[in-house]
Chain A
Amino acid sequence: MSSASPSLSRQDVAKVALLSRLALSERELDHLTGELSKIVGFVSQLADVDTSAVEPLAHPLDSQNVFRDDVVTPSLTRESVLRSAPRHDGESFLVPAVLGETGAA
């Protein structure tokens, strides 16, 4: 990543939108391309920070080895599970058809 302000193309943004599962109108796509380019340009200033001797810090805490015992605890009732479902058949969630292969590799 160079310090020079990188710019996102419209195509980049359309790809990201699909990856994020967000439908965008043409107008929104234009608008977001501009906004995201600006923001990415802004955060790119981090390229100037020397982190060659620094490890990433994913957790602010230094804790480790947190576990729970393999003991059954009450599940939710199916009624409370499906109550908030946009569509269901009393047993399962209903979504537009998922055909054939699974989504993951």
Chain B
Amino acid sequence: MPSDPLQLSAVEIVAAVRSGDLTATACTEAFLDRIARTNGTLNAFLCVDREGALARAADIDARRRAGRPLGPLAGLPVGVKDALCTADLPTTCASKMLAGYRPPYDAEVVARLRRADAVVVGKTNMDEFAMGGSNENSAFGPVANPWDTSRAPGGSSGGSAACVAADMAPVAIGSDTGGSIRQPAGLCGITGLKPTYGRVSRRGLVAFASSLDQIGPMARSAADCALTLEAIAGHDPGDSTSLTDAVPDYSRMLDKPLTGLRIGRVPEHFAAGLDPEVARGVEEAFAVFRELGATVHDVRLPHAHHGIPTYYLIAPCEASSNLARYDGAHYGYRAEPGGGHRAEPGTGHRAADGRDADATAAFESPLVEMYCRSRAEGFGPEVKRRIMLGTYALSAGYYDAYYAKALRVRRLIRQDYLDAFESVDLIGGPVSATAAFPLGEKTGDPLAMYLVDMYTVTANLAGVGGISFPCGFTAGGLPIGFQLQAPALAESLLLNATDRFQSLTDWHRRRPPLAV
């Protein structure tokens, strides 16, 4: 009989459930219990589906006993970022705009998880509409970093990262538009993969920036990520941007030796601004890769320093359009006339407080007033900022200078990767300039917050894949993350390299000293 399920990897859990050594019910109970004990502190979950999860687990156990076939993730508890539609659970994107909203369909990834017999335990907290780098933009409270609850877990998939780091579930699904899987994974000491754009279907992922968004697994190890990715990746005819390329057997390719692997190191990454402890952790990681037989070479990504301004034009522009549908007309929050508002059932929102006079009080019609007030009241400040920025950058007279210009620089950024990958197989480096920062440190300065994505945005702009995993700890006990980036459709190489790294190191096995 295996030990505490909380100590098992995802790979071990599915093997134990398949062999009968562990029931899905016992496993699910253990994690639900852990969630109950920790979520008050961490706020990683917005919604926990105890009943639904146990029902699924019971069904899996019954089928196992009856000798019926089980999916490859049978019995595996999974947390799902609240940006993915779940037909039976609320999907809020951590926004008042969608408080209590229940979609009439499952995201494709959720459907695939269910078909694989995973057990969805709940929806994880996030930055509102995926906009943020610290999970402090949630309308339902920030998420605490399990390693130090006074610090941010990163974002926007902060809830999913904390969930895995704190053993609330062995695997969580996140989304990554500018680093939202990789950066929180780095700050929480777990492994998070952003696949190549189009590798995983976006159908049912509430869109933030459509040409940048990707869904990916977050877990304790490359092996666990590989197991999950196999179940969720692959063509979906319902997503026009979904790739038709076959999904490799990632799990079988993990232990290939890294002899001859060429890893790029970008000198500009080590400029001022990179925390010295992080820099040291990253260099030590390169040393481990050399031990594994890889060689490290300098490469240049000459336009990488334009990544943030490029990203913070393209993403808000697309977002300003993607979020136009939240207008109070057909679903979501609607501000009722006369200053009050109609709360979604069960959300218990307070009535609107007295606000100073609307600058745009002279609305041209009750309809326009409904739009303007619903959106003003439903969206948080960061979302509004980005919508305004995007609208401005797309508007007449500014399109060429801002949006179109950013699209041109994007092509240069993509070309940088294509050129670099002529001489190296992967590019390694930091995922974040610092370890986890204190809650509240950057919330007063939007630009400072934007800069936390500096190492991660370029992969989204170019459409290539990236993975982050722990490579050490600061003196203060905070995880240090390392990022590998690969050419398009080289997830197997990312997972292989990470797995080999994790075969020689123990950082990924460490648990936060959570007092619960």
Are A56 and B404 also in contact (CB < 8 A) when A46-B306, A93-B330 are? yes
**Shortest Cβ distance from residue B418 to the other chain A in the assembled complex, whole angstroms:** 12
Q: Which residues of A contact B243 (CB under 8 A)?
A: 61, 63
Given contacts A43-B312, A51-B405, contact A19 B357 (CB under 8 A): no
Return chain B residues, CB-CB under 8 Å to A63.
198, 241, 243
Q: Is A45 an interface residue (CB 8 A)?
A: yes
The residue from A20, A44, A60, A95 contacting B463, defined by CB atoms under 8 A apart = A60
Contact of B367 among A17, A44, A97 (CB under 8 A): A97
Report whether over half of chain B's contact residues are helix, strand or loop; otherwise say mixed.
helix
State whether the Cβ of A72 lies closer than 8 Å to any Cβ in chain B.
Answer: no
Q: Are A20 and B388 in contact (CB under 8 A)?
A: yes
**B384-412 interface bits toward A, Cβ cutoff 8 Å, 1 = contact, 0 = none:** 11011101110100000110111111111
- Interface residues in B, total, Cβ within 8 A: 76
The yes or no answer to B373 lying at the interface (CB within 8 A) is: yes
Give the interface size class of chain A: 35 or more
Q: Does B358 contact A (CB under 8 A)?
A: yes
B328 sits at the interface (CB 8 A): yes
Give the residue of A13, A25, A32, A86 whose beta carbon is less than 8 angstroms from that of B357. A25
> Is B332 interfacial (CB-CB < 8 Å)?
yes
Task: Say yes or no: is A104 at the interface (Cβ < 8 Å to chain B).
Answer: no
For B375, the chain A residues whose CB sits under 8 A away are 20-23
Question: Within residues 14 to 64 of chain A, which ones have a CB less than 8 A from any CB in chain B?
Answer: 14, 16-29, 32, 35-36, 38-40, 42-47, 49, 51, 54-61, 63
Does B461 interact with chain A (Cβ within 8 Å)? yes
Q: Is the CB of A60 within 8 A of B402?
A: no
Counting CB contacts under 8 A, is B55 at the interface? no
- Tell whether, in the assembled complex, residue A45 and residue B412 are in contact, meaning their CB atoms are under 8 Å apart: no
Q: Is B272 an interface residue (CB 8 A)?
A: no
Number of A-B contacts (CB under 8 A): 193
Q: In the assembled complex, which residues on chain B have CB atoms less than 8 Å from the CB atom of A12?
A: 392
Report whether A96 and B392 are in contact in the complex, using a CB–CB cutoff of 8 Å. Answer: no
Report chain A residues within 8 Å CB of B357. Answer: 25-26
- Chain B residues near A98 (CB-CB < 8 A): 367
Q: How far is the CB of B302 from chain A (nearest CB, A)?
A: 10
Given that A56-B404, A58-B211, A60-B461 are contacting pairs, would A23 and B372 also be in contact in the complex, using a CB cutoff of 8 Å? yes
Using an 8 Å CB-CB cutoff, how does the interface string of B493-506 with A read, 1 for contact, 0 for none? 00000000000000
A40 to B392, CA, bound (A): 9
Question: B201 contacts the other chain (Cβ, under 8 Å)?
Answer: no
Interchain CA distance A17-B453 in the complex, whole Å: 27
Can you list 27 residue pairs at the A/B interface with Cβ under 8 Å? A1-B405, A21-B368, A22-B379, A22-B388, A24-B359, A25-B357, A25-B359, A36-B385, A39-B446, A39-B447, A42-B447, A44-B401, A44-B402, A45-B309, A49-B306, A51-B412, A54-B409, A59-B211, A63-B241, A80-B104, A86-B328, A86-B332, A95-B329, A96-B365, A97-B365, A98-B367, A99-B365
B-to-A contact residues, CB < 8 Å: 101-102, 104, 197-198, 211-212, 237, 240-241, 243, 303, 306, 309-310, 312-313, 320, 324, 327-334, 337, 342, 355-361, 363, 365-373, 375-376, 379, 384-385, 387-389, 391-393, 395, 401-402, 404-412, 414, 446-447, 450, 461-463
Rank and list the top 3 A-B pairs by shortest CB-CB distance, nearest first.
A60-B463, A56-B407, A1-B401
- 12 extra interchain contacts, Cβ-Cβ under 8 A, other than A86-B332, A96-B367? A19-B391, A23-B359, A36-B392, A38-B447, A44-B309, A45-B309, A51-B409, A86-B328, A86-B331, A95-B367, A96-B366, A99-B365
